[in-house]
Amino acid sequence: MKRPYIRHIGHVRDTRAWPAAVRTSGVAASLCLGLAAAAAPAHAGSAPDTAYAPVQVNVINGEFTQPPITGNEPNWAAVQGWSVGSTNGSGTGSGVARYSGANSGHPAGKTAVMLRYPLPNYAFKQRLRGVRPGAQVSVTFDDSPGIATNCTPASVADGQSYTVEGAGGAVSTRTTAPDPDKKANTLGKGVWRAGQTYTFTASEYEPLLTFTSQVPNSANANGYCGPLIASVRATQVPPPVDKTIPKTALPSSLAFYGNDSRPVADAVNYCAGGAGRCAFTPDKDYSYSYYEPAQVNSDTYINCTRNVLKRARPVTFAGRSYGDLPANAGLPGGGTTVSNMAQQFSAGTGTSPDWTTTNTRNVTEVVQPSEASWIETQAGRQRTEGWFTQTPPAADPNFEWRLYTVLDYAATTLSDRVYQRTGPMTPAEKLRCQSDRPSSPTPVAAGDPAGAIR
């Protein structure tokens, strides 16, 4: 027979504002009996929250105006915020050409980038900051066939092809409008189409957006004739918060240097090298407090007597923190030394959590005859997700460190819960209470008189 859920409930109010790194036994707490304390549901294990409305994505230098174009055109200076080729440590910002608004032929005077060879090492890309897996991303841009003096009339007469791809989405092949008016050895004006769109569902944090020329070698003038893009913008519909992820299966930390993916240890080495090197910014929409599922704390107490029993019972909470950063980050911490990154985390969140917790409270347990009593506890937890970013920001975003991480630890503002539970004994417990008292056999026969004391 199952026991009823609640007979007595304890709800412990606990602000957790302890100065020490480890909480110890004997912390004062109030214990209130009553059914109302069980009303609030646990957050962990709940369904994902409602999705968000579309928001603007910060496409860095999406107008391609930095650095400013000076001198003759096309301009071959590295385009700030964008990479050409690899994004695993060997990519560059150079390798594509730009035309200023005065020469691009764009009706709104936009600066344009010319895509080059149909090769991965000439792909033009950027990581979309602030976008996470599951986000619905819509990218908008303008395109035109090439205008370079190297473009022959035949090479643009039917338009020029290129691809656009966002990590997690399908590769989309596009063809620009044709340009029947292009003159040989003359800078053209292009045929611009505004508001080209591409949508995808991101499969990674900071997904790569990639443009690649598909103009064959026979028509790209050795890489000096390719399609143009201008005015890249993006919006996203962020995914809902998924509160079903357990603390033991947090997303892995990620590190980036500009658009390059780098080992997490490299970013940690940078941020940990000085108190002011990085700043932590929590993602408040995806950081939350919650209650762990209730679990039995210590033993079940069985009252086999004929009397009401009262006793003081210690209830101990012990917990640890979870995160996957290298040890030199000091997050989560385990010692008395506060690391530079721990200081950055505290400054960004306004909290100084206890990374390892031990807390004991005494509960007065009341057990009726022929009943069982047990204690269940729910620990208050905090899930904090966010980014360590280089500070001050690098002049060129291609040379800026960013580190994504998630930490789960004892909540600093959420009370732990203590449930005092009583209910009927199980059949096995009843049989145990009805069994004979253990005793040694009487050393004389039942009918013999008792002997003298020896």
The predicted pLDDT at position 22 comes to: 31
Distance of CA 210 to CAs 120, 289, 386, 419, Å? Answer: 10, 37, 25, 55
pTM comes to 0.81
Q: How far apart are CA 276 and CA 269, in angstroms?
A: 13
Closest by Cα among 22, 135, 164, 42 to 416:
42
Write down the residue that tokens 């240890």 correspond to: 265
Q: Considering the chain, what is the average pLDDT of its residues?
A: 86
Position 453 scores a pLDDT of 56
Mean pLDDT on 233-239: 97
Buried b / exposed e over 335-369, threshold 16 CB at 10 Å, is eeeebbbbebbeebbebbbbbbbebebebebbbee
At 140 the pLDDT is 98
pLDDT, position 35 = 31
Mean pLDDT of 310-317: 89
Closest to 113 measured CA to CA, from 86, 93, 90: 93
Span 3-58, pLDDT tens digits: 443 333 344 433 333 333 333 333 333 333 333 333 334 444 455 565 678 999 99
275-295: pLDDT as tens digits: 999 999 999 999 999 999 999
Res 221: pLDDT: 96
Closest alpha carbon to 363 in 318, 317, 300, 418? 418
Read off the pLDDT of residues 368-410 as tens digits, 9 standing for 90 and up: 999 999 999 999 999 999 999 999 999 889 899 999 999 999 9
What stretch of H or E contains 371? strand 371-378
Residue 45: the pLDDT is 47
What share of the chain has pLDDT > 90, as a percent?
71
The secondary element (H helix, E strand) that includes residue 272 is helix 264-272
- Banded pLDDT at 438 (limits 50, 70, 90): confident
176 within 8 A of 191, measured Cβ to Cβ: yes
The region that residue 222 occupies, defined by phi over 0 for left and psi between -120 and 50 for alpha, beta otherwise, is left
pLDDT for the residue 10: 41
DSSP-derived letter for residue 449 is P
What share of the chain has pLDDT > 70, as a percent? 84
- Neighbouring C-alpha atoms within 13 Å toward the C-beta of 433: 17
Residues present in the chain in total: 454
